[in-house]
Amino acid sequence: MLSQEQKQQSRQEKKEKIIRIRKTLSEMTEEQRQAVADKFGIVTVEGHLLTTHNQCFLVAQSEINFSIVGGFQQWKKAGRIVRKGEHGFLIFVPSKAKQETNSEMISDEEDVHFFTATVFDISQTEVIAKSEAA
């Protein structure tokens, strides 16, 4: 188990990594970003095309030729498991803030926040053996 200091250091390293990648992406023109997205066409396990920004964000993090990405649980549901020792990559996921009014949840479209999620490429996974699936 990580100590509080180790957790804090890990958060700081993650934050610094994101800042470096965002700087790289901010130096790209919209045409360059679109060219990256057109070249790779990265999709999720569910078949959704990632946004241009997330595709560029993934490509900036690694030399892997990403094709299909998903989170640990998404791969598990798809009958695959992330190989031991593989490191995930970050993408941004939107989250709408909800407000409670008169016992009803309403979404304020103006109040969208983003958090990072870790994904793995299909090349980092393998099919779950039948004995493991049981």
Separation in Å, CA 110 to CA 91, 96, 107: 21, 8, 9
pLDDT above 60 (res 108)? no
Separation CA 57–CA 114 (nearest Å): 14
Quick: pLDDT tens for 43-84: 999 999 999 989 988 988 888 889 999 999 999 999 999 999
Average pLDDT over residues 34-44: 85
Q: Measuring CA to CA, which residue among 17, 44, 15 is closest to residue 54?
A: 44
The pLDDT assigned to 49 comes to: 92
Question: What's the CA gap between 107 and 102, in Å, rounded?
Answer: 13
User: What sections of the chain are H helices per DSSP?
Assistant: 4-26, 30-40, 52-61, 72-77, 130-133
For the ranges 23-32, 58-67, 98-107, the lowest mean pLDDT is seen at 98-107
> Which burial class, exposed, middle or buried, applies to 94 when counting CB atoms under 10 A from its CB (0-12, 13-18, 19+)?
exposed
- Using CA atoms, how far apart are residues 53 and 62, in angstroms rounded to an integer? 15
Instruction: Note the pTM of the prediction, 2 decimals.
Output: 0.72
